[in-house]
Structure 1
Amino acid sequence: MGRSLHHRNTTTTTTATFLFFFFFLAVIVRSSFIGDLSDDLSSIDFAPTSTIPREKLLDDDEIVQDQSFEEDTNEEEGGLDDNDLGKENSNSNDAEKKEEEEDEKDGKEMKGRKLITTTTTAAPTMHLVITHLNKAVIFGPTVVEFDFATNKLRHMTVQTNPWFASGGLAADGTVVHTGGGWEGGNAVRYLDTCEGCEWKEHVKDLAGKRWSATQHILPDGRFIVIGGHREFSYEYVPPRGEPNKATVSLPFLKETTDQRPDVVQDNLYPFVHLSPDGNLFIFANNRSILFDYKENKVVKEFPTLQGSARNYPSPGMSAMIPLNLNKPISEIKAEVIVCGGASTSFAVEKDIDKCARMDITSSNPRWEIEKMPKPRIMADLLNLPTGDLMFINGADASTSSGEDIIEPWIYRPFLIGDKRFKVLKPSTPIPRMYHSTSAILPDGKILITGSNTNHGQNFPYDKILPTDLRIEKLSPPYLHPSLSYYRPEITQTRENLHYDETFDVVFNLNVTIEDPSDVKITMYASPFATHGYSMGQRLLILKTTGSVDNMGADRLHKIVVTAPPSAVLAPPGYYMLFLVYRGLPSTAVWVHIE
């Protein structure tokens, strides 16, 4: 079902100037699964203008499509089975059947497709972040704010080049965006937390040019920015308008890069995860360290992951397995998973079909290898609110030369052996290759945008692997309409939390809770997604008392929850708080912790 594109030479730098375009954005809101982000055309081949002026953007009709889910989910372990579905799901089944009949009558090729017309435009995508204001900030050669509830776009102006930058959400919810291409390499950009806010830029605040660096929030609320093209160093984001005078050397980054001048550095966008001991796990190329940033020293060097580089420009994917806070702090295990990547940098052949997983808190850490359903590169690896992970988007070979993979995969980290991976059915033919991104939304859906395997841009959509400006909204299996009767709903909780304090979560549930362990509370940090890596992403399974109280009404319940014990486990900021009943998550409530 994939498409091929001939390999492009990425070892020489070409300047593909992005002329002003009149862009078309289509938003596909789908209650179904798709997976497609992938190939990698060397970032060095892109040299866009730093900004597309607002007056150059024209409005076009936006197509919003809704596709209902086609995957069978009832056999999921820990979820509802056919015997649980009872009579209550008959209405939803009847509605599904009616919808199918209407779609068939209309002659539509995909189940449940609906068209809604609005007026919006957008530019090619490279970065994506979801804010607590329920807006998606989408970065390309220009920046837009997308209201995913109304499908409305607001165009914003940036003065410096935002491509190949890094970013994250500050403790107060401000979007902090660092580095970029060309004149944007030293810039720090801020989008404050007010309706209609515009970007504020400090073009010389960084001492190093941070092109393809990684940014991560620290327990004290500061940001550290690590690496970048030929930047073997790190630095902290300074107070606004107080430029850094120097960087801090990190020799590990120089040790893990190809030093040949005609080769794109192969440890860009290093994978960074905050460990429960307060140190940073940094993975670059095929090596990893535990780094004490306070003392500027390597605490531990982990075993080398056999094979070629897993970071950009032939990137695999990485995430942290959900942290279970129901255990004493000393027993909390932090596992990092690294999957896929290219067998050789910019490889045309099939890529790596393995995942490697390691407990970075172990006294004797080692990589445990498991086989993926097939090779995959530059997919997004997202923490779902249920505790599972999802691979979405990607290709089977690197640098825009392979076939797109449109099947999403579920990875169930707490199962054993070959039961962990589940391949889902695709529901749309849209390839999501290089320069596409995805993010979890508060309602549990996944927002996906972008794809551009071309030097410059290539329209229209009937071309092979065109520049794609459409946005999709996808529903994982837990949002199947037949399960809606069993889905919990948070009705009341505290929105401002403090570390290690208890708080109540009151929720509606239409069925009797026979086992309190069927209910769990998860807390998700919204990441900054780019190039197959979601910076700052983490999912916490919060500690509960182990009991669920009935509130005197048949469907109203209360569970007592303990907030994360420290900022090391949950850096200050906004999180999505989900209540999950037997694998079915509620819509999240945004909470703030400090």
Structure 2
Amino acid sequence: MNVKLVLFAFLFGGLILLNDKTNVNALPALQARQDPGSTLGAFKIVGKSGVNAMHAVLVSPRKVVFVDKLENNALKRPDGLSALSSEYDLDTNTAKPLGIYTNTFCTSGSWLGNGTLVEAGGDKGDANYRSGIQTLRLYDPSVGDWVELEGIVPSNRWYPAMVTLPNGNVMILGGSTAATGVNRAEIDNPTYTIFPPPNGGPLTDTAFPFLSSLLPYNLYPMVHVIPNYEGKTQLFIFANQNGIAYDLDTGTTITTYPKIPGGIRSYPLTGTSVIIPLDPTDYYKPTVMICGGNKVYELTSPAEASCGRLELTTPNAAWEMDEFGGQGRVMPDATFLVDGSILFVNGAATGFAGYRKGGGANALWVNENPVFTPFLYDPFAKTYKTLAASTIPRMYHSVSTLIPDGSVLIAGSNPQGSVSLNVKYSTEYRVEIFYPPYLYSSTPRPNIISLQTSPINENRIPVSYGQEVTMVIQVKSDGGNQPVLKACIIHHGFITHSQNFSQRYVYLEITNFWADSSAADQYILTIKLPPNPTIISPGPSYIYVFNGDAPPVSGAQVLLQQAA
């Protein structure tokens, strides 16, 4: 295959439109809504992922792609070899194999602004699978499979971070050059790579010595674009217990933040992070929240029971700490719900990220005491609520992602080096859907009919920053009262190892709202999108309109780009 032609087609082929004929009106009724008295939500096991869900990414309203490392998964490719990636259909709850032929172990991913998914890095191969350690993989949703560009990443990347930049390119940041549990100087990779390369030519590494100062706990660094009105590419970058604001345009550190109290927050003492929902009414002021981790690299050490919040653009800001709802978690996942609340789920109460040591009766599990109960966090009231419990341990290599119908897909867990079944913590293929409490609400749910006159689930609808878009919705009256509507846009991100790369939630201004006389219970809205791509990254996102506490039947998938 001509790599240059493939690369050209992915990067410059124009808008990538997704053809998904799912009719949201035909989706089955949510199980959770049958019990309007519930306030705790509910889990339901719905299918099997085919491969362990080390990575997960929503690629269309009703499809999720999973990526695993090289191991003997039960799902087979057409050539008879075990699949390393699968596409999971949320309507049929079935998985089909995808074509990855290089080892994807402990990589990361993010979306290009044109709507192509990028995944980079990996590990050595074997007799059947090629090395993936300097491989870059591209997934085009309109094609529905992977293309692998081997050997183009300029250095080995193991446990890197990735983020979509405001210009639509992606940054690949940090990691190590060889497999390891804890990083060390001789294999440290304190550099970043921009893809596609800004000036053409081959990919190159740029030194980023801040990461070396955070050894040994600098793997899977946390990275978020900092919103600003000037359109500057400024990044919050954090590992271990320290973070900075970095201006990528000038290559300078503009702020050094105070050390976060409590334990270590990055791999393998793994915590998680989000930028809490951004709001135009306070000028998109960014606050980062970092939760969980551990204080000591010791398998019996209790997980860190604290979260810190930090206002990134406030001079001399200090960390505001809480007790993480009173439950320590290492390897938690943080997932935005449609109403702006944050679901903390998965993880262990003791230990650290990694594989069991030994086997049989003498095996030592380095992450233990799974936390079965999710917490619902209100980022404005700053309160936690304990929700209904799962029955499945979800520890190392687990994932969680919002689904556009307002539910949450949860999968994975494989705290061992190869597929092992019928052990204490088996390789986990079961997929669960969690129905949050708002899906039990008696408040009528909006049904989004169209956006910019286009049906919402046929293609990604192109929209631009600062644009006012027109949406038609149907929502039944509630006791004769008009609906009380809010709107948001969510970038669902790429989930692995408790990091959700580029995940972002932004409230949207509803600038006009009137009843549509042409149909009963139908309304027309105009909604204003964020002013620039530092607020939310370009590429695929979903616009939601929710009625009080009730999310829509499905969000509207869009491709957000700069105006031509």
* TM-score (norm. length: structure 1): 0.75
State how 1:41-120 maps to structure 2 within 5 Å. Answer: 68=32
Instruction: Describe the SS at the equivalent of 1:403.
Output: strand
Paired with 1:363 and 1:115, the residues of 2 have a C-alpha distance of 48
Partner of 2:451: 493
Partner of 2:260: 305
The match for 1:286 among 234, 241, 246 is 241
- Cα offset for 1:479? 1.2
The match for 2:307 among 333, 350, 355 is 355
- Cα offset for 1:121? 7.0
The match for 2:140 among 183, 192, 202 is 192
- Cα offset for 1:452? 0.8
Deviations 1:486-537 (A, max 9, x none): 1111122223211112122221121259998931111110211001110010
- For the pair 1:342 / 2:304, whether they are aligned, the reply is no
The amino acid across from 1:527 in the alignment is G
State how 1:412-431 maps to structure 2 within 5 Å. Answer: 412-416=378-382, 420-426=383-389, 428-431=390-393
Partner of 2:166: 219
* Residues 545 and 551 in structure 2, CA contact (< 8 A), matched pair in contact too: yes
Partner of 1:524: 490
- For the pair 1:164 / 2:106, whether they are aligned, the reply is yes
* Residues 67 and 112 in structure 1, CA contact (< 8 A), matched pair in contact too: no
| Structure 2 gaps, min length 5 | 1-29, 71-83, 125-130, 177-187, 353-365, 453-460
* Residues 502 and 537 in structure 2, CA contact (< 8 A), matched pair in contact too: no
* Residues 409 and 423 in structure 1, CA contact (< 8 A), matched pair in contact too: yes
Q: How many residues align?
A: 472
Partner of 1:268: 219
The match for 1:295 among 239, 250, 257 is 250
- Cα offset for 1:177? 0.6
- Cα offset for 1:425? 1.9
Paired with 2:42 and 2:336, the residues of 1 have a C-alpha distance of 27
The amino acid across from 1:421 in the alignment is Y
- Cα offset for 1:157? 2.3
Once superposed, which parts of structure 1, at least 4 consecutive aligned residues long, lie more than 3 Å away? 66-76, 110-116, 242-246, 512-518
Paired with 1:113 and 1:164, the residues of 2 have a C-alpha distance of 28
The match for 1:247 among 161, 181, 205 is 205
Partner of 2:426: 466
The match for 1:510 among 426, 451, 476 is 476
The amino acid across from 1:178 in the alignment is A
The amino acid across from 2:301 in the alignment is E
- Cα offset for 1:392? 0.9
- Cα offset for 1:252? 0.7
- For the pair 1:559 / 2:525, whether they are aligned, the reply is yes
- For the pair 1:315 / 2:273, whether they are aligned, the reply is no
* Residues 49 and 431 in structure 2, CA contact (< 8 A), matched pair in contact too: no
Deviations 1:171-203 (A, max 9, x none): 2322211111233221111112324x4321111
Relative CO higher for 1 or 2, CA cutoff 8 Å, sep ≥ 6?
Answer: 1
Paired with 1:112 and 1:121, the residues of 2 have a C-alpha distance of 16
Distance 1:272 1:515, change over 3 A: farther
The amino acid across from 2:145 in the alignment is E
Partner of 1:378: 331
Partner of 1:203: 150
Instruction: Describe the SS at the equivalent of 1:210.
Output: coil
- Cα offset for 1:556? 1.3
Paired with 1:471 and 1:477, the residues of 2 have a C-alpha distance of 19
Distance 1:111 1:475, change over 3 A: closer
The match for 1:570 among 511, 528, 536 is 536
State how 1:426-465 maps to structure 2 within 5 Å. Answer: 426=389, 428-460=390-422, 463-465=423-425
* Residues 127 and 530 in structure 1, CA contact (< 8 A), matched pair in contact too: yes
Paired with 1:114 and 1:312, the residues of 2 have a C-alpha distance of 29
Distance 1:544 1:471, change over 3 A: same
Higher strand share: 2
Instruction: Describe the SS at the equivalent of 1:184.
Output: coil
Deviations 1:440-471 (A, max 9, x none): 111111111111112323212xx311111111
Partner of 1:391: 344
Please provide the CA RMSD for this pair: 2.6
Distance 1:70 1:210, change over 3 A: farther
Partner of 1:402: 368
Distance 1:443 1:437, change over 3 A: same
Partner of 1:126: 54
Partner of 1:138: 66
Paired with 1:516 and 1:414, the residues of 2 have a C-alpha distance of 25
Paired with 2:430 and 2:555, the residues of 1 have a C-alpha distance of 25
Distance 1:572 1:515, change over 3 A: farther
Deviations 1:324-365 (A, max 9, x none): 1244xxx32101000010111244221111110011011232
The amino acid across from 2:349 in the alignment is D
* Residues 204 and 243 in structure 1, CA contact (< 8 A), matched pair in contact too: no
* Residues 139 and 162 in structure 1, CA contact (< 8 A), matched pair in contact too: yes
Distance 1:335 1:156, change over 3 A: same
- Cα offset for 1:74? 7.3
* Residues 227 and 286 in structure 2, CA contact (< 8 A), matched pair in contact too: yes
Paired with 2:63 and 2:520, the residues of 1 have a C-alpha distance of 35
Distance 1:273 1:193, change over 3 A: same
Paired with 2:43 and 2:467, the residues of 1 have a C-alpha distance of 45
Paired with 1:578 and 1:211, the residues of 2 have a C-alpha distance of 35
Instruction: Describe the SS at the equivalent of 1:487.
Output: coil
